Structure 1
Amino acid sequence: MNILHESMGLSRMPQDALHTPQTINIVPQLLMQQQNVKSLDEALRNVPGITASVGEGEGGMAGDQFLIRGFQAQNDIYENGLRDFGVYTRDSFDYDHVSVIKGPSSEVFGNGTTGGAINITTKIAHLGDSYGGSFSGGSGAYYRGTLDFNKQIGESTAIRITGMGNENNVVGRDQLYSHRWGIAPSIAFGLGKRTTFTLEYFHQSDNRIPDYGVPVVTKPGTAYGLPVTEYGVKRTNWYGTSYDQDASNVDMLTGRLKFTLNPHITLYDDLRGGMYERYFSSSQEACDATCTANLFTNPSAAMVNRRGGVGGPEPYQQNDWSVQNVFSAVAKFDTGSIRHEMIAGWDVSHVYDRRTNYAYNFDGQNGTQKDTTSLLNPNPNQPGLLLGSLGQYAPNIVNIPGVGHAIYKTGDATDVGAFFSEQMWLLPVFSIKGGFRWDHWNSHYSANGGVAGSGVAFGQDQDTFNPTVSLMYTPDDNTMIYFNWAQSTTPLGLYVTNSSEPLKSSTEGFKPERSSLYELGAKYNAFHGRMGFTASVFRLEKGNSLQTDQNGDVSSSSDRQRNQGVELSVSGEILKNWTMIGTYAFYDAKTLAGTAADVGKRIQYAPKNSATIWSTYTIAPNKPYNLTFGGGLTWREGVWLDAANTARVPATVEWDAMISHNITKRWRVAMNGYNLDNRLNYGSLFSNRATPSIGRSFLFNLSATY
C-alpha cells in the first residue's frame, strides 16, 4: 500500500513515485478492491483537489470532466501514457492503478495539464496463470460482474482478458440508471526478452441517463447562491425528460513495443487508434428570477426551465476517431564520474470530431417550445413533448429560440511534438534534470446547416514550447528532497471532442493559457519501506485564463490566477495487518488580476481544504475466523462555482466503511457501506447547478482468485 513504490509505467517518466520530482497521488489496486471502486470518478475521490464538473450547455458535455487544483483537466486523461480523447464515463474494470501527476506536465504529456494529468495504468498480460471473477449486488438494484483471466503460453507469451457487466440505478436520485458492459483482451510476446510487444484492445458500451443535478438560486437578502436542495427541495428530484439519454461506444486498439538495444539504450514505441460514438440528449435545468421568487413565497408555483433542446443543448450524434504515436528512447550512461539518464522522442496525434445536431423540447401540434416543469415535483413524462429528427430541425420550425443552430459540426486537431530531457547525477546524492517539449498545434472547426452559425469555418495554428527544470537531493535510497519548475500551455481549440464549439469568431484572437509551477517537496520511505510520506509546497500561476459559462461560451478574461498551497500524504503499513492511506491539501487559490469582479476572489472549484483517509485492519489473518475491517472519510470544504464568487456549494463529508472475510485462500466475501450518515453532498458541479451525490447505500461482493 506504500504508493512510493509504484512505478509510473511510462517511458517518459521511468522512475518510481519516490524518485519523481513532482506531487503524485496514486490510487493502488488494493485500495480500489477494498472500496469496490467501479469507475474512474470513484477512484479519484481518494485524491484531494480533484473536482468533477457536470459539463456546460450548448453541447451538453458530460462523461468524465475533472478539474485538478481548480483548473480544467477534461483533455488530460491518459491511459498508459496515451491520451484518451473520448468523452464518456470510464468504468474501472481494467485498471491496475490510477496516478494523478499534479501541476503543469506539458514536457511529458504535451499541451494542457495546467492542474496536472490523470494516467490510468491498465491490466495487461503477464507471465504465469491467474483466474479471477467477482459479483456485486446491493442498493439501487445494483448488479455487477467482472472477470480477469490470464494464461501463459509457452516461455514468453501470455494472454489476458478482463471483462465487466454492470446494471444499477442511482441511490438518492430519481429516474437515473446505468447499463454498461466492457471487455479488454491483451496479448504479450517476448515477456522477459529483449523485445516485448503487447497488443491491447478495449471496448466499453454504456447506456445511461445523464444527471445535470439541481439548479442554484440566490435567496433574496443573501450574498450568494446555493443549490435549491439547501432550501428544502428534495435531493431525489431529477429535472430531465424521458428522452434524455447518454449512449456511448468506445473502441481502442493499442500496440506497445519495447526493445532493449543494449544495457544502456531502450527504445519504446506506442501506437493507438480509437473510435468513439455517442448519442447524447440532456435537459439542463435553470431556475430564473420568477422561479426563485416563487420558491420562497409560493413554492408550488415555482417552475424550472428545462433548457434542453431548442434554445439549449440540442441532442446530438457524435462520431470521433483518433490516432496517436509516441516514440521514445531512454539512454543511461556515464561520462567520467557523472551519471546520465537521457530521454528523447516524438509524439504525433490527430483527432477528428463530427456532430449531427437534432431538435427537441417542442410541441409538435403548434411548434412552440415546451420546456418547463415543477421545481418541487418534476415530471419527466411531459405530454406532447416530441423528440425532433434531423428533418424537423429546419427553418420552418418557428417561434423557437435557437432554431438556427448548425446541424453539422466538425472539428479536427493535429499535434506534432518533440521532447527531450536529461537527468545528471553531478554527485551520488545530487542530480539536476532539465527538459523541454516543442509542439506544433493545428486545429479546425466548421459548422453547416441551420439558419444562424452555418457555413462558418475557423482554424488555429500555433507553436508551443514548454520547459522544466528539477533539482534533486537523495541522501539515501529512501529519501528525496526536490525543487521543480515547469510550464504548460493550453491553446484554444485543444478540446475538440470535449467542446460544442472549440473555435468561433469571438475566440479567434484569444491567446493560449500559459501556466508555471514552482514546487518544493520531500518524499521519504520509513520503517524499512513499509510506509511512505510526502510533503510539498507549491505555487501555480496561470495567465490568459479561458472560462466557460453555463451556455458553453468560452471567454478570455485575461485573468491572472494563482493557486499556492501545501499537499501531504501518508501510505503503507502502520503495524502488521494495519494499513492506511491518507492525503491532505490546502489551497490558497485566487484571481490576481483581470476582470474587476473576479480580482481577489477564490478560483472556482478549488477547495481551501480537502482530505481523504482510508484504513483497514485484519484480525486473525490466514485463520478460518479472519476479518478485515476498514473505513474512511472524504472531506472537501465548500467551493465557489463561479469566478466572481456569487454561487457556492457546501462542504462534502462522506463516511464509508467495509468488512470482508476470506472464506478460503481463494474466495472472499465483503460488504461496503457508502455515505453512512446519508448526508446531502454534491459531486459534479457547474456555475449554475450541482449534482447531489448518492445517498446511503450498501454493496455485497463475492470474489474468487485462482
Structure 2
Amino acid sequence: MPPSLIRRRIYPAPFMAGLALLYSGIHVHAADAATDTKTSKPKHHRHAAGKAAAAGKAAAHNPAKAAPAPAVAATGTTAARPLYAPPGTTSTITPTEENLTVVGSPMNILHQDIGLSRMPQDVMHTPQTVNVVPQVLMEQQNVKTLDEALRNVPGITASVGEGEGGMSGDQFLIRGFQAQNDIYEDGLRDYGVYSRDSFDYDHISVIKGPSSEVFGNGTTGGAINMVTKMPHLGNSYSGQFSGGSADYYRGTLDVNQQIGESTAIRIAGMGNENDEVGRDDVYSHRWGIAPSIAFGLGKPTTLTIEYFHQTDNRIPDYGVPLLTKPGTTIARPATEFGVNRNNWYGTQYDQDDSNVDMLSAHLKHEFNSHITFYDDLRGGMYQRYFSASWEGCNATCNAAYFGNDPASALVDRRGHLGGPEPYQQNDWSVQNVASAIAKFNTGMLKHQIIAGWDVAHVYDRRTNYAYNYNGLNGTQTDTTGLVNPTNFVPGLLLGNVGQYSSNLVNISGVGRALHKTGVATDVGAFFSDQVWFAPWFSARAGFRWDHWDSHYSANEGMVGTGVSYGQNQDTYNPTVNLMYTPNDDTMVYFNWAQSTTPLGLYVTNSSEPLRATNEGYAPERSSLYEIGAKYNAFHGRMGFTVSAFRLEKGNSLLTDPTTGDVTPSSDRQRNQGFELSASGEILKNWNVIATYAYYDAKTIASATAADVGKRIQYAPKNSATFWSTYTIAPATPWNVTFGGGLTWRQSVWLDPANTAKVPDTVEWDAMISHSFLKHWKVAMNGYNLANRLNYSNLFSDRVTPSTGRAFLFNISATY
C-alpha cells in the first residue's frame, strides 16, 4: 500500500551540515514498511533523526516551543495533527520540501495518542500516569479480548460484579477501586455490560487516577479508553485465523479502501468460538462487525461515522468458593485445598447472551491554525439475557470438606439474596461531547484552552424471572457437591415472565419486583487553560461541572403498587497541573485532581442502590496528588516513566452483599505508591515493554474500628508486567521473531476486614513467528506455560481460576 509520508524541510547547506550527524543513524526503509499496515499510522519512533523530528512534535504539544525548526507532520493519517506555531512566529529560512519515509519502533508508548479530543497530547506530554497497550503488543500476544489486553497494565484486576443483580461482563478495578462505569471507546462511555472483543481496537489507553475534569463523574482509580480502527487514506487488507487448545477457532478481517481523494471506508470483522482450558462447561461463541466511513481525510473538516455490533453467547463463570482451613483464620480458594480447578458450579439454566449495537459520529473542523472544533456523538442499544449460579460454601460445607467425608460438602448455588436470578436487560444510551481547542497569545504568554459540554442519557430496563423450587423438596435451596458438582438440577424449573413471582428475590426497600427501571441524565461543562510562562514551564488549571439526575423504580411482581426513588446532584471537579519541560525529550510534572461518584452512577452495570433512606447521600469524593517524570532516551528509541502518587477516597459507600443495602460510611481509603515503565527498542530488532507498580493501599478511617489499617481489597502491593521480542534476520527468507514475558500480581485481600485472600498470579507466556512471501506470517503463542493455578475474576467470597496451559497457532496475511 502507499506509504505515509513525513515531510521534512530542506534548509541551506550550513544548517543541514549541523544536522547531518543527527540523521546519521536514521533507518530509512522501503515504502511499504513505513506504515503500520493495520492502521496506516506512521510509526513515531525516532532514531538519530529524532532530534530534528522532535522539534516539530514539541511544537504541536507545547506552543511555547514552536520555532523555525524543522517541522514534522504526518499526512494522510487519522492520527496527524497540524503543528501549532504561535502568533508572531516567523522564519527567515525559505524551505523546499521533499518526501522522506522514516520508520522506528512502535513499542515506545510515549509517542502514542491517548485517543480523545479532550486530551489532545500524546502520552509524553500528558501530566498523569498513562499506560498504553499498543497494537503491536496485542498482535504479538494474539490478544482477543479487552480483559487479555489489560493484563499488560499493572494495578488492574477484574471482578464479577457486586450486590443483587450479579453483573458479569467486563468489570474492572483500577488501583483497587471500581471502574465498571469508566470504560470508554474513542472518548465516549461504553455503557454496555458485556465481554468486549478486541478485534476493532487500534490501541488501549489507561489513564490512572481521578480524571473527572475530563471524563465526568467516576474515575476514582482511572479510566480505560479503547481507540478503534478508523478509516485512513491508502488501501490496506489483512486477515488472520487462529486455532488451538480447548477447541479455539477464531478469524478476523480488516479491510481499508480509499474511494476518493479524501474518503475511505474500513470494515473490521470477527468470528470466535472457544472453550476454556482448565474450566468445565465454560465457552464463548461470538461474532462482530465494525464498518466505518470517513469523509474529508486530510482536509480541514473530517467526519467519521462508525457502526459496531457484537453478539456473544457464553457461559458465565463465577469460579470456586473460598474455604477456611480449621486452625486458620484466612479464607482461600477451594482449589488451594485440593478441589479440582475444572469444577464449575452452574446449572442447566446458566447463560450470558448479549447483543451490542453502537452508532458513532466524530466530527473535526479546523477553523484555522488556532481553533479546532470537535463533536463526538454516540447512540447505543444493549440487549442481554443473564442467568448465573452464585456459589457459596457456608460453615457446614467448610466443616464437611475438612472432616472425614469431603464428598458430603454441599455448595449453595443461590448465594447472597437468594442468588442472582435470571433477567432480561434492555438498555439504550446516547451521549454527545462537543469541545473546542483554542491556541493564542496574551502578551508574552501562550495559551491552550479546551472547553466544551457533555450530555448523556442512559436507560436500563430489567425483567426478572424466578425459579420454582418445588422439585427440591419444597425448599428454596439449590445445592451441589463441592468435590463433584452436578450441573443438571432435576426439578429446578425456570418460570416465564410473572410466573413464580413469590420466589423473586426480596430486596430490602424494594420487595419482590418483576420489573426494575433505572434512568439517568448527566449534563456537564468543562474548561481548562494551559499557560506557558516560559518555553520550559507551563501550568494548566481546569474544572468540570456536572448535573446528575437519576431515577429508579420497581413494580409488579410481589411489590404491590411499586416504589420509585430519585436524586439530583451537582458536582464540581478541579484539576491543576504543573509541567517542567527543559527539552523536547523530558517532562517533569505535578498533578492534583479530584473526582466524584454519585450514588446510582452505575445504572446499567450494577444493582440499583437507590432507596428511600439514601436518596440524599453525598457522593464519594477522591483526590489525587501525583509527581512524575517522562523521558525519551536514545534519540527516542526508548521511553521511560516514573510517578509517585497519593490517592485518597472519602465518604465510601458500602454495599451489604447479604441485603444489597447501600450505606454511607466514615471510611476513608488511601492508596499511595509509585509506578515505573520502560518501552521501546533496546537495540535494533530488540523491543521491550515493562511496567511495575507498588501500592500501599489502606483504610485509614472507618466506623468499623477493626478495619482501620487493613489493606484495601483487590489492590496488590506489588505488580509487574514484562514483554520482549527479538527478530533474527529481518527482511530475509529465514527471519524469525521470538519472545515472551511475565505477568505478576502479588496476593490480594478480598474483603475490607482482610479475612479472605487470593494467592499470587504468575504467568509466563511466549511467542514465535516467521514471515514469508512478503505478506504472510505464521505464529505460535503459548500461554501460562508453567500451567500455574492463577486467578482472574475476584469477588469477596469466590474467585475464578484463570486459563491453564494453552497454545494457539496463527496464520495471517497483510497487504
Scaled to the shorter chain, the TM-score interval is over 0.9
Q: Which amino acid in the other structure matches residue 812 of structure 2?
A: S
Taking structure 2 as the reference length, the TM-score comes to: 0.85
CA distance in 2, matches of 1:641, 1:339: 49
The unaligned stretches of length 5 or more in structure 2 are 1-106
CA distance in 1, matches of 2:680, 2:505: 63
More off after superposition, 589-598 vs 685-694: 589-598
Q: Which amino acid in the other structure matches residue 604 of structure 1?
A: Q
| 8 Å Cα contact 1:658-1:670 kept in structure 2 | yes
Q: Residues 323-380 of structure 1, C-alpha deviation per residue, up to 9 Å, x if partnerless?
A: 0000001001112221110000000000000000001262358654340000000000
Q: SS of the counterpart of 2:418? A: coil
Q: Residues 258-278 of structure 1, C-alpha deviation per residue, up to 9 Å, x if partnerless?
A: 011111000000110000000
Q: SS of the counterpart of 2:385? A: strand
- Please state if 1:529 is matched with 2:647: no
| 8 Å Cα contact 1:309-1:360 kept in structure 2 | no
Describe the shift of the 1:531–1:325 C-alpha distance in structure 2 as closer, same or farther (beyond 3 A). same
Describe the shift of the 1:454–1:30 C-alpha distance in structure 2 as closer, same or farther (beyond 3 A). farther
- Please state if 1:561 is matched with 2:669: yes
Q: Which amino acid in the other structure matches residue 255 of structure 1?
A: A
Q: CA deviation at 1:310?
A: 8.1
- Please state if 1:570 is matched with 2:681: no
Partner residue in 2 for 1:41: 147
Q: SS of the counterpart of 2:220? A: coil
- 1:199-214 equivalences under 5 Å are 199-214=305-320
Partner residue in 1 for 2:603: 496
| 8 Å Cα contact 2:567-2:616 kept in structure 1 | no
- Please state if 1:593 is matched with 2:701: yes
Partner residue in 2 for 1:259: 365
Match of 1:667 among 756, 769, 776: 776
CA distance in 1, matches of 2:461, 2:300: 42
Partner residue in 2 for 1:180: 286
CA distance in 1, matches of 2:607, 2:479: 24
- Please state if 1:7 is matched with 2:129: no
Partner residue in 2 for 1:273: 379
Describe the shift of the 1:81–1:289 C-alpha distance in structure 2 as closer, same or farther (beyond 3 A). same
CA distance in 2, matches of 1:320, 1:480: 43
CA distance in 2, matches of 1:629, 1:535: 28
Partner residue in 1 for 2:67: none
Match of 1:141 among 247, 254, 272: 247
Match of 1:152 among 258, 273, 284: 258
| 8 Å Cα contact 2:514-2:558 kept in structure 1 | no
Aligned residues: 705
Q: SS of the counterpart of 1:262? A: coil
Partner residue in 2 for 1:24: 130
CA distance in 1, matches of 2:806, 2:380: 35
CA distance in 2, matches of 1:398, 1:45: 37
CA distance in 2, matches of 1:541, 1:591: 10
The unaligned stretches of length 5 or more in structure 1 are none
Partner residue in 1 for 2:810: 701
Q: CA deviation at 1:400?
A: 10
Q: CA deviation at 1:137?
A: 0.3
Q: Residues 191-246 of structure 1, C-alpha deviation per residue, up to 9 Å, x if partnerless?
A: 00011000000000000000001011222221211011111000000000011000
Which stretches of structure 1, 4 residues or more, deviate above 6 A after TM superposition?
398-403
Match of 1:161 among 240, 249, 267: 267
CA distance in 1, matches of 2:706, 2:313: 41
Describe the shift of the 1:502–1:454 C-alpha distance in structure 2 as closer, same or farther (beyond 3 A). farther
Match of 1:193 among 285, 292, 299: 299
Q: CA deviation at 1:450?
A: 2.5
| 8 Å Cα contact 1:198-1:256 kept in structure 2 | yes
More off after superposition, 591-600 vs 437-446: 591-600
Partner residue in 2 for 1:391: 498
Q: Residues 407-457 of structure 1, C-alpha deviation per residue, up to 9 Å, x if partnerless?
A: 000011000000000101100000000000000000000011232486111
| 8 Å Cα contact 1:370-1:385 kept in structure 2 | no
Q: SS of the counterpart of 2:707? A: coil
| 8 Å Cα contact 1:276-1:321 kept in structure 2 | yes
Q: Which has the greater radius of gyration?
A: 2
| 8 Å Cα contact 1:641-1:686 kept in structure 2 | yes
- Please state if 1:374 is matched with 2:481: yes
CA distance in 2, matches of 1:205, 1:22: 35
Q: SS of the counterpart of 1:597? A: helix
- Please state if 1:83 is matched with 2:192: no
Partner residue in 1 for 2:625: 518
Taking structure 1 as the reference length, the TM-score comes to: 0.98
| 8 Å Cα contact 1:405-1:454 kept in structure 2 | no
- 1:279-318 equivalences under 5 Å are 279-297=385-403, 298-307=405-414, 311-318=418-425
CA distance in 1, matches of 2:273, 2:636: 41
CA distance in 2, matches of 1:399, 1:65: 23
- Please state if 1:323 is matched with 2:430: yes
Match of 1:613 among 717, 722, 729: 722
CA distance in 1, matches of 2:166, 2:127: 37
Q: Which amino acid in the other structure matches residue 452 of structure 2?
A: G
Q: CA deviation at 1:487?
A: 0.3
CA distance in 1, matches of 2:282, 2:333: 19
CA distance in 2, matches of 1:177, 1:504: 37
Q: CA deviation at 1:384?
A: 1.6
Q: CA deviation at 1:562?
A: 0.3
Partner residue in 2 for 1:350: 457
- Please state if 1:441 is matched with 2:552: no
Q: What do you get for the CA RMSD once the two structures are aligned?
A: 1.6
More off after superposition, 54-63 vs 564-573: 54-63
CA distance in 2, matches of 1:668, 1:546: 51
Q: Which amino acid in the other structure matches residue 317 of structure 1?
A: Q
- 1:419-438 equivalences under 5 Å are 419-438=526-545
Partner residue in 1 for 2:329: 223
Q: SS of the counterpart of 1:160? A: strand
CA distance in 2, matches of 1:227, 1:521: 38
Q: Residues 459-484 of structure 1, C-alpha deviation per residue, up to 9 Å, x if partnerless?
A: 11000000000000001111000000
Q: CA deviation at 1:59?
A: 0.8
Partner residue in 2 for 1:478: 585
Partner residue in 1 for 2:751: 642
CA distance in 2, matches of 1:308, 1:564: 34
More off after superposition, 440-449 vs 213-222: 213-222
| 8 Å Cα contact 1:308-1:361 kept in structure 2 | no
Describe the shift of the 1:685–1:553 C-alpha distance in structure 2 as closer, same or farther (beyond 3 A). farther
As a proportion of its length, which structure holds more strand?
A: 1
Tell me the percent identity: 76
| 8 Å Cα contact 1:369-1:400 kept in structure 2 | no
More off after superposition, 167-176 vs 506-515: 506-515
